[in-house]
Every structure is written in C-alpha cells, then in structure tokens.
Amino acid sequence: MTLPCLTAARRFDAAAHRPFWIGAEQVGWIRASDVPLLERWPDVFDMEGGDDSARVTLSAAFNTVDLRSAALGSVIGALAAEGRIPGWRNETYAIRNAFDAPPLAYIERAASRFFGTMTYAVHLNGVVEYADGAPQLWIARRSDTKATDPGMLDNVVAGGIGWGFGIEATIIKECWEEAGIPEEIAARAVAGRTAHVLQTLPEGTQAEQIFIYDLALPADFAPRNQDGEVGEHRLARIDEVARWIEEGALTVDASLATLDCLLRRRWIDEDACEGIEALFAPPALA
C-alpha cells in the first residue's frame, strides 16, 4: 500500500506551472492560472516564450538584493490586499536554492508558495523511551487557527526557518514556543535525514527541504505550548502513530519526518513505506 503522504509529497504537474527565474537561476514555480495576475506589472516581470516554454523572469533592472526585494514586496503587498496571497505571517524568507546559498531576494513568508520558491523547515520527533516499556512519541495537534493544515496532527515541534536563523537556533526557538522544551534539552536534538517536498496546494506550490531531528524527552516531561499555535499534545504508541499516518491524520511533512524516525530506529518494517527513499533526494523536474 502506498501511504497518502508519499503520493502527496510529490503531487506536482510542471506543465500546469511556469518557471520563475531571477537572473540565471530558476527559483520557483508559478501556477499558469496566476501568471495573468503578474502581467499587471510589466516593469517588474518579463513574460518569455510560448505556451510550452513560457517562463516568468524578474526584470534584469532589479540587479541587487535590495532592488529585487523592494520590487517583489510591492507586488506581494498588492496581491495580499486582494486576497491572492493568504496567511500573512510578518516573517521574512530568503529566495535561495540551497540553504547555505546567498539570498537573491527577500519576501514575506506567505508569498513563498505563490511563487513556489524553495523554503526550509525543521521537524522534530519527540521520543520517550522507557526502561520497562515500548517507546512512544509526543504528537501535537495544530491550532484550528493555523494558516496551513489547521487542526491536523503534527510533530511535537515543527517550524519554518526564517531568514537570519540557522537550523540549531530554529530548533531551540521552536522547541520553546511550541512545546515549552528548555534550551538545555532542545540542544540534544540529533539529526536524521532531509526530506524534499514538491506538492501543489490551494495557495500555490510547496517546494521545501525538511531537516528532520529526533529529541529524547524525559519520561516525566509533558510539552506545554507557549505561542497558541498548538491545540494539544498527545503521547502516543508507535502503532497509533503509524495508523494516523495511514489515515492521513498527520500533515504530509510530519508524516515524512515521523516515518524517517521509525525507519531509522527499526520500529516499523521498511516494506510498509514503499517509495519513501525517493523523498530523501531532490525531485527531478527536467
């Protein structure tokens, strides 16, 4: 059986999108149906090619990070005011095709999916191993007011990496905000693998690298949300978590992060996750 998260994580039709370029780099994907919205700014975007080879390119006149950011910011603000870019976050993301690459521009986080630009996130598996019992995982339920996946089950800690934050700093920040995990415990997180998601969503395209970590939590520790973004936490058996993944109750991202943990620790059979290995390599779009 193919798990729903594995199908969803690569549910993307390149033919229904137009590549978005800055200079010599393709940095995103814009839905073909959204391209006419950008034609209102001919000084900002160049529309190139025919139907089969069309692409949207930021004008070469914007040749610095600051100029590109200002030009995109003006467009993003107008589209958000019209409801075309929902879920405004007041968070800055950098447009960059690799986590350690210099930014080409800065945009509001909510606009990253409209333009289909690469984003980066951390997902942390909260593991409790008992000396005299089976291991369990802390699972969060997202707040019903979250802009994405409201009410769905999630990892105990998960968050996007904003500009100016490294992976470790994001883990420490998100651990406290989402679960009240103090820094001295959060700093013990151990890296797993990196999952790559490319999926079509109602708000655009999620092109994201997910840095997966495991964190051993004390048996007497209970997560307590600090920022209002988590509705509740549940301590769950491995079979319960596996069933939630099969049912699609966990978000796609959390499902991938949890499966990575379960597979690495040999808590589930690899045969139950046919196709997951492909999600630890970047998608081929050519």
Domain positions in the chain: 14-118, 119-280
Average pLDDT, rounded, for the chain: 93
Fold of 119-280: Nucleoside Triphosphate Pyrophosphohydrolase (3.90.79)
pLDDT digits (tens, 9 = 90+) for 227-245: 888 999 999 999 999 999 9
pLDDT tops 70 at residue 53: no
Mean pLDDT on 76-95? 96
pLDDT at 132: 79
Query: CA of 178: how far to CAs of 25, 44, 250, 257, in Å?
Result: 35, 38, 17, 17
pLDDT at 50: 66
Mean pLDDT on 173-202? 96
Mean pLDDT on 153-180? 96
Fold of 14-118: Transcription Regulator spoIIAA (3.30.750)
pLDDT tops 70 at residue 1: no
Mean pLDDT on 58-67? 98
What is the C-alpha to C-alpha distance for residues 68 and 84, in angstroms, rounded to an integer?
A: 20
The predicted model scores a pTM of 0.94
pLDDT band with cut points at 50, 70 and 90 for residue 286: very low
What is the C-alpha to C-alpha distance for residues 43 and 20, in angstroms, rounded to an integer?
A: 16
Which of 57-66, 125-134, 162-171 is least confident?
125-134
pLDDT tops 60 at residue 285: no
Mean pLDDT on 42-59? 86
Mean pLDDT on 57-80? 98
